[in-house]
Structure 1
Amino acid sequence: MRKTLVKSGIAAVLCASLVTAAGCSSSGNTPKDADSKGNAGSESGSKTKIEYFQMKPEAVDVVNDLIKKFEAENPGIVVEQNNVPNPESVWTMRVSTDDAPAAFTHYPHNSVFQKMAKEGRVVDLTGDPLMANVQPAIADLSKIDGKNYLVPVGLATLGVYYNVDIFEEHGLKPPATFDELIQLSEKLKSAGVTPFSFHDKDWNGIRQEVVFKMGQNLPNIEQFLDDVMNGKAHITDNPDFKPFAESLLELRKYGQKDNLGTSNDDAMRNFANGKSAMWFSGIWSIKEIQSSNPNINVAMFPFPTKDAADLKTQVSVDTAIGIPTNGKDQEATRKFIEFMTQKDSVETYLQVGGYPSGIKDVTTGRPEISQLTQLITDGKVYPTIERLWPPGTNGDVGKATQEMLATGDVDKYLKNLDTIFFNKFNE
């Protein structure tokens, strides 16, 4: 049953958590006055003290700067930031043992978080004033069974990096349709330029591509896969799956010769150093590209659809803030979350990675990703479809696709996908 699958996943996470959490109290970001469990306690002298458990190590410095500003504006409240290794596992253990931090970041697409929210362990923020400044489309895709449990702040998406100089040298511009993408790839290949770098050695990278493109291109894919996982349909019943698989193979005609021997890091370096004109990846890779080659003239375009009018991009919430149901000092916590999700704070926070914003009217996002940012602003987005899959399913999909890219056997691939998904919720 679906419930059994999720419970077994939670059990595995909690086992890992018990080991990981032992190191929490030694973290430099643990509250100074914490007890043996890492709790800060609700007050320090006459001041209310709250813990902010945030999961991104690269954001520690900017969060500390924001905390200083908040405390200056709210002298009666002290905020202690806590950032630890394996934060998702630690969060799960702490919430499960009634040791939840006052405020925390998490991901609405995360299956463990979804289970905790449905169990009532997280405050339901649907219609809450804390959600008032969230972009409507982002609020919708963040819902769990129709409810919001986190305030989305920063967003992530994927697209096609392209070398602007190579495109201009060959008189090319970003394509509006998939057919145009194939046409420009043909032109580059004919001119002796490798159109794409692929990182097919890493099944996880392949998984990201497949999940993105399924959600973008297969009509009613969430409902169809739900039917398959409930034993009501087979992958092979859907006529859209075969051309979808064939399109994955078709694009590989325009990659390097050793795509299955190329890792994500190698593909990034190949692209950064001009060995290919394009690379499909997430917006999180741009800093690595520019670090590898500070002189590269790079930008991104959305992965094109068959019909330009259907263009949209997958969005996952990269930073979102929530409150545990039994959290202490919720009035002070809400003041802090209001501060962290106001326009100026979000702009400051997102400057670190240049990510698009889930909050309205925020000027952020690197200029290199402006086309993707515009799609998000226009609400042309969809959530990652793997958020609805049982734990481990996405990995199986990545590995099966990797096998298909190696063999070229589309029919076997569809049968493998059916084996992965069929009746999954009833096992």
Structure 2
Amino acid sequence: MKKYLAIAVVLVLMGTLFAGCAGGANNSAGDGTKQEEGQKGSGKKKELTVFHFKVNIDKEFQELLNVYNEQHPDVNVRQEVIGGSTDWRALLKTRFAGGEGPDIFVVEGLSQLETWKNQVVDLSGEPWAEKAFETAKAGAMLDGKLLAMPYNIEGYGLVYNKDIFKQLNIEPPKTLSELREAARTLKEAGYIPFATGFGEWWVIGIHLMNVAFAHQPDQDAFLQGLNDGSAHFADNPVFQQFKDLFDTIIEYGDPNPLTNDYNTQVSLFATGKAAMMQQGNWMEPQVFEINPDMNMGLLPIPINDDAEAMDKLHVGVPFNWVINKDSKNIDEAKQFLNWLVTDETAQSYMTEKFLFIPAYNHIEADNLKGLSQDVMNYSKAGKTLPWVFPKWPEGVDNQFSSAMQGYVGKQNSYEEMLKQIQSSWDELKK
């Protein structure tokens, strides 16, 4: 009971973090397109396809599907994993347009849920619904209906190599000035301060851009202002501060920021060539696969020198399962989703194999460590910033990415970048 209360306190402290938004995203991982077929169906087996973007857990998730398929001989569940630099959302729409919509798929938050609301099943009465934290369910509800199943909680910031910092006597930076000084020291010592991975659209266009949105004094008011024309990127004080952070990462980043993808970014960090990278707790499995002894931690991403205001991680719900209303096996799909959060083996995979922070009050989370524990600690302390990107107009993050990559490549100025993202927002806003 103690562990459950602790997790409940976390989500209460996160307060309005999830109000009106879910995770995102983007939290995606991996590179390219990958499809795991699992066991081939035979006889009268019912086939279920699960579509998601978490390439970083594709092997572990396939193991879990194998367990499920063995326990349920009349059903064969297979996964289709599309993530990394591939736009999984566009490909998902292509699947549906071609009449090949998966039985179960993922949405990141309310903007996507709004897009798919007429295509998904109402899950309000499912057994797991009473066990999910209310704040986690906030980004899965529309019109009073629970249309998606929240799966986990994630956080991101600057992942750093504790051993390198200790070797160079660098204290974890709490302000932008301290971050620049740490980067200078790292560079002089022969390390790459930041592994960037800006070739990955979601790294730069979602998670990095979210920093400027999350530090707005009132995120919802800013979004409303962008939508009604009373707010603009060009004259926003936070976006002017954001330039200093962006320039710091570019100046002290790796020499190939626009060609390095997620895998390259993680590899540079895991092999000790780079001392920091902008990522979250979802990438722990890949790092430990390369370097089982990696000693790493998670730092906030500062945009100014207000140490107290900057000492916050970006935390959200990235993973919301939905069921295709046109599936021929809706009951089986519901059974599978319920199994994911109630079966003991499935729960152990969630926390021990996937290294996920569960969004449910009945799943033990005592084994959290490393980055996931950092996310939990910051959440307990109420030091969190929201994932605002699930509230953005759908598709604008891709255009943000292009404009920001243009700035990194010196194809446009920062002022021109802001004009481009303003134009994109105005074009796509509802």
TM-score calculated relative to the size of structure 2: 0.72
Give 5+ residue unaligned stretches, structure 1.
1-19, 41-49, 72-76
User: Of residues 47, 50, 53 in structure 1, which corresponds to 2:50?
Assistant: 53
Q: How does 1:16-415 map to 2 (within 5 A)?
A: 27=37, 29=39, 31-33=41-43, 40=46, 51=48, 53=50, 55=52, 57-58=58-59, 59-69=61-71, 71=72, 78-84=74-80, 104-109=104-109, 113-117=113-117, 119=118, 121-126=119-124, 129-144=127-142, 147-189=145-187, 191=189, 193-260=191-258, 262-304=260-302, 306-308=306-308, 311-318=312-319, 320-325=320-325, 334-342=334-342, 344=344, 345-360=346-361, 361-363=363-365, 365-376=368-379, 384-407=387-410, 409-415=413-419
Quick check: which has more Rg, 1 or 2?
1
**Rounded Cα–Cα distance in structure 2 between residues aligned with 1:400 and 1:91:** 24
Aligned length: 380
CA contact 1:31–1:82 (8 Å) conserved in 2: no
TM-score calculated relative to the size of structure 1: 0.72
CA contact 2:268–2:274 (8 Å) conserved in 1: yes
**Rounded Cα–Cα distance in structure 2 between residues aligned with 1:91 and 1:204:** 17
SS class of match (1:247): helix
SS class of match (1:132): helix
Change in Cα spacing, 1:227 to 1:163, as seen in structure 2 (3 Å) is same
Report how far residue 190 of structure 1 moved.
5.2
Residue in structure 1 matched with residue 16 of structure 2 by the alignment:
none
Change in Cα spacing, 1:349 to 1:85, as seen in structure 2 (3 Å) is closer
Report how far residue 82 of structure 1 moved.
2.8
Q: Structure 1 stretch 350-359 or stretch 230-239: which is displaced more?
A: 230-239
Q: Which amino acid aligns with 2:415?
A: D
**Rounded Cα–Cα distance in structure 1 between residues aligned with 2:175 and 2:139:** 25
**Rounded Cα–Cα distance in structure 2 between residues aligned with 1:52 and 1:377:** 37
Q: RMSD between aligned alpha carbons?
A: 3.9
Report how far residue 250 of structure 1 moved.
2.8
Q: Which amino acid aligns with 1:416?
A: Q
Report how far residue 406 of structure 1 moved.
3.4
**Rounded Cα–Cα distance in structure 2 between residues aligned with 1:95 and 1:172:** 51
Q: Structure 1 stretch 85-94 or stretch 191-200: which is displaced more?
A: 85-94
User: Of residues 395, 417, 421 in structure 1, which corresponds to 2:425?
Assistant: 421
Report how far residue 62 of structure 1 moved.
1.2
Alpha-carbon deviations, 1:325-346, whole Å to 9, x = none? 5666766655543332127332
Q: Which amino acid aligns with 2:66?
A: N
Q: Structure 1 stretch 235-244 or stretch 252-261: which is displaced more?
A: 252-261
SS class of match (1:83): strand
Identity among equivalent positions (%) equals 21
Alpha-carbon deviations, 1:125-161, whole Å to 9, x = none? 4576422222333222444466531222234442322
Give 5+ residue unaligned stretches, structure 2.
1-32, 83-87
Report how far residue 395 of structure 1 moved.
1.5
SS class of match (1:218): coil
Residue in structure 1 matched with residue 18 of structure 2 by the alignment:
none
Change in Cα spacing, 1:396 to 1:301, as seen in structure 2 (3 Å) is same
Report how far residue 166 of structure 1 moved.
0.9
**Rounded Cα–Cα distance in structure 1 between residues aligned with 2:336 and 2:318:** 20
SS class of match (2:158): strand
Report how far residue 281 of structure 1 moved.
2.0
